[in-house]
Structure 1
Amino acid sequence: MKLIADNTCQEKSLNKGKPPINVTSEIGRLRTVMLKRPGKEVENLVPEYLHRLLFDDIPYLPIIQKEHDFFAETLRSRGIEVLYLEQLFVEALTSEEIKIQFIDEMLRECHAHVNGASIVLKEYLLSFSTEQMVDKIMSGVLKKEIDSEKKTHLYEFMDDHYPFYLDPMPNLYFTRDPAASIGNGLTINKMREPARQRESLFMEYIIKYHPRFAGKDVPVWLDRDYPFSIEGGDELVLSKEVIAIGVSERTSAKAIEKLALNLFKKQASFKKVMAVEIPKCRAFMHLDTVFTMVDYDKFTIHPEILGPQGNLNIYILEKGVDEGTPKISFRTDLQEALKEVLGLDDIILIPCGGGDEIAASREQWNDGSNTLAIAPGVVVTYDRNYISNELLRKNGIEVLEIPSSELSRGRGGPRCMSMPIFREDI
């Protein structure tokens, strides 16, 4: 597990003396962010199982790592502290007891007991150093790695031809989805697809056991045991009072309502949750693949999410008279709804691909609307989306482009690849 910089995440944080998490907007100056550098898990993708692992193609590891390192260095060059999920997690396994507890929980979630492999796998994983073990769990465990003499049951010898005991986790470099910072806390998410459900377990252990977060009373607004799915790509913090959440292929209305009620009860600053229904298809996987905030009054948008009359189904949830029931109102005009909840006289929606039928579809597929704002009016984007990038610049946005020939194969952009931990308030 080789990282570009030493990020031992103790008291050398840029935010020393402040709460470990603070995200009250999408555009406040970014101070600390969590990434995951693509690793061997990407090389364990094979054509037969791409669909199972939620990929459309196989990235070339040396180049995807080079592109990801460029992304990380772009952030560091702007004074942003870059943490790595894999390193934070290694540092969170502070005792043998915690390490064993994690392995047991991970194997249980993998259903490894079904084919009788859990005992052998546990022994195998514990044979590694902590760092090697984490890398092995993330990259996947092949059946051929286990010595045949340790297979004691007939069904272990006659098992199907699927090559893995533990699936690789190639989606891990999209750190936005398993957990999402909101205010001074976070959601640790129940993810919809089986291929990704283990991912949020890493963040749960980091919050519980890493010295940077443990004992700091970090609130968890919704945990991964809640039975209905929600993913961080659908969670956008528009201001210290307003959150937008996509009702999408991956995020359920029930999870949104539960999160809203928890926030209204426990975090006084949040007044409104704007639930935005988007088409439930892979191309529009999360709200942030079709809509992101880039400045105080400017947003990217993919025009194809709008209905024939330019409308959307938008539900505004507010605190109700009964603590267990929100007040809900309905809107259809996104622009007007944003002006209302943010108290703005006007806003600008910047269309992906300039709204051109072909360019918009092509660039949205390569995450032209998925921008990472690192300060008001400053965003990181993929270089391949040149029409969208030029339009952002014409609207006064500073655009920092990163190479993306391999990163984009995972169907996620700069926002997808980053989990803000700390932003300055605006």
Structure 2
Amino acid sequence: FYKPEHPDFFASENVVELQWLLAQVLADKDILTKLVASVCAIEGCTYEVQNQLLNYTPAELAKTFISGTSNSKQLLFAPIPNFIFTRDIGITIKDHVLLNKPAKKARTREALLAKYIFFHHAMFSQYRNNIIELADSNHSFLMPKEEDDRKITLEGGDIMVISDNHLLVGVSERTSSEAAVKITNTLFQKGLMEKVSIIKIPKKRDYMHIDTVFTQVKRDVWVMLGNFSRKAMKHEDEDAIERILEVKKEEKIKILQFHRQDPENPVSFDSLEDLLIDISKNDLHCKTEVRFIYSGNNEFPYNAREQWTDSCNLLALKEGVVLGYDRNDKTTEAFRNAGFAVIHARDLLQQLEAGTIQTATITNTLILMPSAELSRARGGFHCMSMPLWRESLDIDQ
């Protein structure tokens, strides 16, 4: 395997590498000049460094913009390792692209690079007039720091296109209520969605985005953190005094589902399970019982520990076939108990290459890969993917 800047890099048409796209965008000298100026302004570079970067080839410059390192191995500005979490830089919603507005300054360069890719790469020409950007209000610069939560911030881990006409929006540590309001109104005005469910979760790094506490496995199967189950929301495991004093109040969530035809009367859900059951039954027309697989098999302390290392942040390659980390043993056990096969990615690749198994025949399977340092960055496979195209589901199956 070669890195994107290598001449022999395999440029897949199905799994697209951002550095490769960026290099192609930078082949336009005018765009290169503008982006160099923008990055240097953000990073506080000297005019000398700016002029040096103008002489880089597109491939060299794309690498430098991401790594922060010059051709001579000098560190010009901080690298952006979070660029691997492509879910956060934008989300495709039908024939539109919603760009992010990061909450942390460290991710500003990511957002800038993504913007140039979406607006200028030929691959996204069909989206060019359908790119949604969220601007701050005219008075945002007047807000004191303690009112930062009123500013518009959005990261893609808080957006889930759950069906053709239903979008989930998380309000979290990284996505503000103001952004959720603006997204909902924009999508309703454009007629892109009939329903938007806003899920307000505790503003904790543990729950950075909603996709760190739940993701979909199948139409009728979800993986989630048990803290937001029906049982937990009703405090059934607490004694009377603990329940009355609301000792665990900080774990509460609020879920409101807005309908385009009647936004004044949203539907409220008491727990995350209630919302997900409603989605499976009413949006995806499931006739079977909706099942939940819990992080850490819902056992203390594995539930919270494995959620931290992304047990709930899974990527469905197709219905019922998901990618996860091999370090979350109790969650893996829960998948086995739910009837799923478990296989390590290296073993699966060997079987695929040997022809002993076909991708079309793989069903109900958890594919495991090592996480190394990735899980320390609070991101799993769902975070590391940005779907550009979604196959329509036959909801009558």
TM-based fold match above 0.5: yes
- Secondary structure of the 2:163 match is coil
Please point out which of 79, 84, 94 is paired with 1:168: 79
Q: Give the AA of the match of 2:3.
A: K
1:333 paired to 2:271: yes
Of Structure 1 and Structure 2, the greater helix share is in 2
Please point out which of 299, 308, 312 is paired with 1:365: 308
C-alpha contact 2:198 2:255 (8 A) present in aligned 1? yes
Please point out which of 199, 205, 210 is paired with 1:276: 199
- Secondary structure of the 1:419 match is coil
Q: How does 1:60-75 map to 2 (within 5 A)?
A: none
Report the equivalent of 2:133: 222
Q: Give the AA of the match of 1:355.
A: N
**Superposition deviation, residue 214 in structure 1:** 2.3
Distance in 1 between the 2:109 and 2:329 partners? 35
Report the equivalent of 2:119: 208
Distance in 2 between the 1:334 and 1:130 partners? 46
Report the equivalent of 2:165: 241
C-alpha contact 2:25 2:117 (8 A) present in aligned 1? yes
Report the equivalent of 1:105: 38
- Secondary structure of the 2:86 match is coil
1:304 paired to 2:227: yes
The 1:419–1:216 alpha-carbon spacing in structure 2 relative to 1, beyond 3 Å, is closer
C-alpha contact 1:320 1:327 (8 A) present in aligned 2? no
Distance in 2 between the 1:190 and 1:217 partners? 18
1:251 paired to 2:251: no
Please point out which of 381, 403, 423 is paired with 2:370: 403
**Superposition deviation, residue 224 in structure 1:** 6.6
- Secondary structure of the 2:123 match is coil
Q: Give the AA of the match of 1:329.
A: V
Distance in 2 between the 1:199 and 1:239 partners? 28
Distance in 1 between the 2:278 and 2:329 partners? 32
- Secondary structure of the 2:115 match is helix
1:196 paired to 2:107: yes
C-alpha contact 1:379 1:398 (8 A) present in aligned 2? yes
1:140 paired to 2:83: no
Would you say how many aligned residue pairs link Structure 1 and Structure 2? 329
Q: Which string of whole-angstrom CA distances, capped at 9 and with x for unpartnered residues, describes residues 272-293 of structure 1?
A: 1111111211111111111101
C-alpha contact 1:94 1:209 (8 A) present in aligned 2? no
Q: Give the AA of the match of 2:95.
A: N
C-alpha contact 2:194 2:261 (8 A) present in aligned 1? no
Q: Which string of whole-angstrom CA distances, capped at 9 and with x for unpartnered residues, describes residues 364-386 of structure 1?
A: 11111110011111101111112
C-alpha contact 1:187 1:221 (8 A) present in aligned 2? yes
C-alpha contact 1:335 1:347 (8 A) present in aligned 2? no
**Superposition deviation, residue 215 in structure 1:** 5.1
Q: Which string of whole-angstrom CA distances, capped at 9 and with x for unpartnered residues, describes residues 219-244 of structure 1?
A: 22334767500111111111111111
Q: Give the AA of the match of 1:301.
A: M
Q: Give the AA of the match of 2:86.
A: T
Q: Which string of whole-angstrom CA distances, capped at 9 and with x for unpartnered residues, describes residues 34-76 of structure 1?
A: xxxxxxxxxxxxxxxxxxxxxxxxxxxxxxxxxxxxxxxxxxx
Distance in 1 between the 2:166 and 2:41 partners? 37
Identical residues among aligned pairs (%): 31
Q: Which stretch of the first structure deviates more once superposed, 305-314 or 242-251?
A: 305-314
Distance in 2 between the 1:267 and 1:6 partners? 40
RMSD: 2.5
> Runs of 5+ in structure 1 lacking a partner?
14-80, 147-163
C-alpha contact 1:378 1:398 (8 A) present in aligned 2? yes
- Secondary structure of the 2:387 match is strand
C-alpha contact 2:100 2:111 (8 A) present in aligned 1? yes
> Runs of 5+ in structure 2 lacking a partner?
138-150, 236-251, 341-363
Report the equivalent of 1:423: 390
Distance in 2 between the 1:223 and 1:91 partners? 26
**Superposition deviation, residue 216 in structure 1:** 4.8
1:122 paired to 2:46: no
**Superposition deviation, residue 362 in structure 1:** 1.8
The 1:337–1:361 alpha-carbon spacing in structure 2 relative to 1, beyond 3 Å, is closer
**Superposition deviation, residue 407 in structure 1:** 2.4
- Secondary structure of the 2:3 match is coil
- Secondary structure of the 1:166 match is coil
**Superposition deviation, residue 197 in structure 1:** 1.8
Distance in 2 between the 1:326 and 1:393 partners? 44
C-alpha contact 2:118 2:128 (8 A) present in aligned 1? no
The 1:255–1:132 alpha-carbon spacing in structure 2 relative to 1, beyond 3 Å, is same
Q: How does 1:54-65 map to 2 (within 5 A)?
A: none
Q: Give the AA of the match of 2:40.
A: L
Q: Which stretch of the first structure deviates more once superposed, 384-393 or 294-303?
A: 384-393
1:183 paired to 2:94: yes
Q: Which string of whole-angstrom CA distances, capped at 9 and with x for unpartnered residues, describes residues 350-402 of structure 1?
A: 11010001111221111111100111111011111122123224324311111
Report the equivalent of 1:354: 297
Q: Which stretch of the first structure deviates more once superposed, 349-358 or 392-401?
A: 392-401
The 1:206–1:365 alpha-carbon spacing in structure 2 relative to 1, beyond 3 Å, is same
Q: Which string of whole-angstrom CA distances, capped at 9 and with x for unpartnered residues, describes residues 150-208 of structure 1?
A: xxxxxxxxxxxxxx652221211111111122222221110000111221212211111
C-alpha contact 2:89 2:155 (8 A) present in aligned 1? yes
Q: Which stretch of the first structure deviates more once superposed, 310-319 or 375-384?
A: 310-319
C-alpha contact 1:261 1:326 (8 A) present in aligned 2? no
- Secondary structure of the 1:214 match is helix
The 1:248–1:109 alpha-carbon spacing in structure 2 relative to 1, beyond 3 Å, is same
Report the equivalent of 2:142: none
